A and B are shown apart, each in its own frame.
Chain A
């Protein structure tokens, strides 16, 4: 670019992952305390890095690239933007790489499509004088068609219809260069940012001729407001008057913004488009210009067109150039997720508000995206994916909730640090890394206190995810692995007796016991402070004790009777999809007995667990081992697994919450069925002896059908979502096409209070979609 270099590079990042695997039971150690062992392995994942810095540092940057260019196959560097011409020779000389110049607009659009598809809260509308000023858009599954208006020195208006099809439909010469050039002539202020500063202080009414200046007081006849500008700079048409720099800059800003907005609306109307994304250096995070452009679009389109801005707007060209270079690898076939730990986030709205932040982001800024192993798609059972919002509370909006949760996460930090250190007893630098983690996450929380919109809409989910990202960053892949291991071991031992007692009950009693078991299991949540304190201090706290804690019926949200009636009177469900929550008692004594009952009713079950670890949530790999153990103890589960009436799948997520828009898709996912696992490891004789190598699965999985396809194929007609993270923080209001059951125990007194209950209140929400 003209003043900033944006660099995109791909790297493989080596980091530790926790793996679980069954013990080798051949002959020894059968009475082992744990059901499986945990190993920490190195894994390599792909990551995209984007950094932004001032052109003056280009040599330093090139040195950095030279030192880190480990992939000798790289021979070409893709470059775009004005600087691509300017620095071509320097780059070629320094790096010994050929520089391929790519078309600016093509790169821009490629980049734009990429971020719109991959980053949930990429686009936002700007609302002046409201808190927050940024209103993030939920991703629409179909991003096309849209209008991209790039305001650089001039204005380009491009209509984007598909991934590869776009058309330059118009432009204007009155753009950022006009503001800057004309502004410099008028005010003798040379820097763009300073001109914007002047403009934000000025009064355009001293320079512009307003409708009321022409009409006097009585200006209602034309249906025009008196404050409208009749003629920009109309008052300066006099030789004998001085005008203030601020006022002229403001007038110029209005003139240019209004003009661009008007033209953009005319083009939008001609092409029947309702979404306009604005980019270019004129916009680039400047609240002043976002405000005037938004005003102009609202005015000229009478609200029919929406002006949208992008969080990573400054990187679009670099992303696009990178994607161009990586076309053989086709990064579009993967899904990518923003890494909150490695991204600096959006800068402050107001330069006065947080000057440090602003200065920083002007010169150096970074953004990282991790490649997810599987492409993610919408859960096909969502009633309306276009209006689905996973999160129950928008913390950018709700200042009180924001304050509470930020404090809550701050207070929980010590515990997480402690847990992280404990999870790696053999590591010498665990304490040091844990401390770094603490600092990083603490800083993120402070940034979010100041700028809740820094990473899109702030939610409990994003706070949890950020914590996971930060933990991973410092090689704490699974701080709760040991806790989970222990709890799984204990719970497995109790499984037979729990089943026995359930089987001794009559039908109706049993149903209630099953639900109560599910709820009691859900009490075991290390993510909830109230619970982790109990679990730390009372080692004997178990299933029965948890049941005692539960609220008596009627529950806070109680549609149990409807549920029972449905079971009694309706036909068995065809197939139930269950999103499980915690390891240990929850999955083993709560979920599995419930699953078993469903299977007995003739309902097939898809049990979906997280792909990666988050808190003490059960992971897919753990669920496989647990299932094996249970199968060994219980013929019903055993035969269901063998006959593929019970399928274990991974969600594709590593979050304690659940975004139903991003489930594993069909091309590349993993219902690891019983028989298949056998095929994977045919030599393994004992039920407990095969490895669970997710590295292997990665390849095998491509042949498998994913969660989304499976859901369709099995005609899923019941979705059960369990736990606070998945059923309350997210999806509480999610509408599905089929029957659904959302259940959770509220283990946080503030949240309970908010929902009108007490701690350990029960949510049992059975919903039938209206016809």
Chain B
């Protein structure tokens, strides 16, 4: 069986069908060619999940074609690729069993603007000779389909974004995070001293509101694994935060923007309720600390001159985050759902936003709504695409 497997993985090509016709006529389980990838090409980032088989036998290793081996080594031995590709080592899922193979799942990302270089590399490494199917989702699956074909000689299998997202979320949550819980929440979100991250059991996830914050934001209601719909979205997302930060502060990376935000004070930039009413606005039950007007203080020349770039970055982050929280809360109310799961790469290394979302949802809903988060933030689309590869006929 091993041999058979091996043979298939190495030689099973379309032109070989007539040489090994019995493989395809037999009721044996379908054998999947390595490498196994899942790709999610978003507006800003490309997310790539890669399955590294750990149960490769010596024979297999020997038989493994050179470029397949080099891909495996390249991806697993490095944590950074080129100047912009990064493997999120801390997210790696170990000892998964998939389609009878044991291995680790790796999570890699690089900017979408490097997509042409990625395709070029695929072409140079003669990736097409491996005859694997490349499952891809996200808008870029459409945008770069042509390039994959003409430059890389690769046929993409384009997959529905939302399908992949939900499949990915459900799968990762079911396998857990190397023995820990994938899903978590913040307890006491309204009390900064007592606020702590705690695991959340998402065993019975439905119904849930899934808020995916990438460059833009998509909001989905999920009633079962096949029953979901996109209820709305907003263009004020991660791309807006980063885009505005670039314009306002001259920063050049998301990390830099977040770093600045963590050092700033948004209350210098924003006009708070107390700035207008001297305290709480009791008539409407508005607390004095609430933001009345984002960037409202920047109308004044004096205040413009007294704010730092960090303050501006912070205000941008708070504005975008509060707004997403507000829209998500209204959707949850309209859809009568009380669990809101936030995912997407906007939340990567972004504890400020996560805590703020947890706080805002709790505060404005008077404790009725709960904000949930997942460790693999932005990778669910890619995981979904990857799973499609495994389950495909």
Contact = CB atoms under 8 A, between A and B. Distances in A.
Decide whether A and B assemble into one complex.
Answer: yes
Contacts of A186: 247-248
Contacts of A233: 239-240, 243-244, 247
A266 B285 CA distance: 20
Contact of A177 (B43, B230, B294, B323): B294
Interface in B334-348: 334
A263 B328 CA distance: 10
A392 interface: no
Contacts of A238: 246, 252
A615 to B, nearest CB: 50
A181 B312 CA distance: 11
B236 interface: yes
A180 interface: yes
Contact of A234 (B44, B290, B299, B312): B44
B330 A231 contact: no
A232 B240 contact: yes
Interface stretch (B25-33, B80-88, B139-147, B183-191): B139-147
B239 A184 contact: no
Interface in B219-248: 230, 232, 234-240, 242-244, 246-248
A216 B145 CA distance: 9
Contacts of A213: 43
Contacts of A105: 283-284
B258 to A, nearest CB: 13
B271 interface: yes
B120 interface: no
B271 A153 contact: yes
A325 interface: no
B253 to A, nearest CB: 9
B139 A215 contact: yes
Interface in B317-331: 319, 322-323, 326-327, 330-331
A226 to B, nearest CB: 10
Given A177-B299, A209-B216, A270-B334, A235 B139 contact: no
A270 B243 contact: no
Given A215-B139, A270-B334, A231 B237 contact: yes
Given A103-B283, A184-B299, A219 B244 contact: no
Interface in B140-156: 140, 142-146
B299 A181 contact: yes
B265 interface: no
Interface in A409-448: none
Given A181-B299, A234-B43, A237-B246, A266 B334 contact: yes
Contacts, number: 202
Interface stretch (A17-25, A168-176, A558-566, A577-585): A168-176
Contacts of A170: 326, 330
A695 interface: no
B161 to A, nearest CB: 7
B42 interface: yes
Nearest to A82: B276
Contact of A153 (B145, B286, B293): B293
B180 to A, nearest CB: 32
A220 to B, nearest CB: 9
A208 B44 CA distance: 13
Interface of B: 42-44, 138-140, 142-146, 160-161, 214-216, 230, 232, 234-240, 242-244, 246-248, 250-252, 269-271, 276, 283-286, 290-299, 301, 304, 312, 319, 322-323, 326-327, 330-331, 333-334
18 contacts: A154-B271, A154-B291, A173-B322, A175-B293, A185-B248, A185-B298, A213-B43, A215-B139, A219-B142, A229-B216, A229-B235, A230-B215, A231-B239, A234-B43, A239-B250, A248-B247, A255-B235, A262-B234
Interface of A: 82, 103, 105-106, 152-154, 156, 168, 170-178, 180-182, 184-186, 190, 207-209, 211, 213-219, 221-222, 228-239, 243, 248, 255, 258-259, 262-263, 266-267, 269-270, 300
